[in-house]
Structure 1
Amino acid sequence: MINVLIVDDQTLLREGLKSLLALKKNIQVVAEAVNGQEALAILEDKSRNIDVVMLDIRMPILDGIGVLKAMREQHMQQAVLVLTTFDDTEQAMECIRQGAKGYALKDINLERLTCAIEALAKGGTALSPGITDRILTTPPKKNDFYEPVIETLTEGELKVLSLIAAGYSNIEIAAALHRSEGTIRNQVSFILRKLDVRDRTRAVLKAIDLGLL
């Protein structure tokens, strides 16, 4: 059974999501919060056993980005699916940078929502196709306050790095870029070497520091 926390300040939306998910035998809504502060209090209660957090962005007291930042700082392991009304590429990227594993608009249908929750519960990712496309086509940021990377990353490596930042596995990156898994594995190795880091997490953090993401 997948235990879900719904975080949204709109009562009708929470009730609607809860009713829809009740139709699924493997998913249960075990808690609700109307703002980020309430959500963090629930997540700190280990007895709740939350697997997936369905998180709105714009809320009073503490918004969704604030929740993601706090979860990251406190090393909370629950997977987060951001559900929002606003189709905003920069907002989506910021959510991903802060640790969200899923991002979808609130007009998502039940089957896709269920698939997203199941994917996150298994440790995967669930980004809407439109978000994935924009990640691949958004040019990397430039930051004049940092020294350039010793070896410049190629355009292809930057795309791979963007998808790593979005939580994609090598298999998922290969599918998104229409490449073989072996090719992606080699590109990841090149990226780690060029950035002079040991693992994917450090690569993403250093890329953010360098203004590449």
Structure 2
Amino acid sequence: NVEKSVENVETTVEEKPSPSQSLHPLTIDAIEEAFRFRAQNVTTSPLRLLDSNMEWFEVQYSIMKFADRFLEKYTKGSKKKNEEPTWTEEELQTIGGRIVGVLVRLDDLEWEWKHRVSTSTLGQPESPDMIPYNQWKSILGLHPDNVEQRCTKTLDMALLEEKDFARARAERMLALFLLCVEGPAMKASGNRSPDDSEVDFIQDSTQLNLMMPKVKE
């Protein structure tokens, strides 16, 4: 029935009220915390493959448990302070889904962002747009000098010890996920997230353009 199909689509894409506050800060907090936890390489709750004997489903399970614990800690903290619930159940599910979505794709997102920056004007020494290497951590969320590929331990230590670096990196991983994964998936399915997958926490237009989905040739 064509009329019913149209009705279903209209119902799917109907206007939703915007969240009372941004979902992003809490999501970024979680990703930032995950960087520090992952850097400790805890074998009982791995957020990455630690050896050849480990299966990917173990990592996926740990990631989901991490997201659950993080949100549980947040909601319990709100209850202890007798605060009203900040977000609806749907919004909390969206935050949880984004935490998991970023963390299960973290290796790919990290590689993709490093590759895009390195091959853009931001990473070319002869370009006027080039970001000085000593500012890569705070501005781009990347470790300079090919440390990303060569020395995971050095990268982990930097993320453990340098909050600004971890924060900038978490923001960029979330932005890349929203623009290249969640946003297109929502559009293709005719659904909408509570905040329309909008990236409003990165102001640099050059970086935002660099994060946009690549056009398939």
Normalising by the residue count of structure 1, what TM-score does the alignment of the two structures yield? Answer: 0.29
Kindly name which structure, 1 or 2, has the bigger radius of gyration based on alpha carbons: 2
Higher RCO (CA < 8 A, seq sep 6+): 2
Normalising by the residue count of structure 2, what TM-score does the alignment of the two structures yield? Answer: 0.28
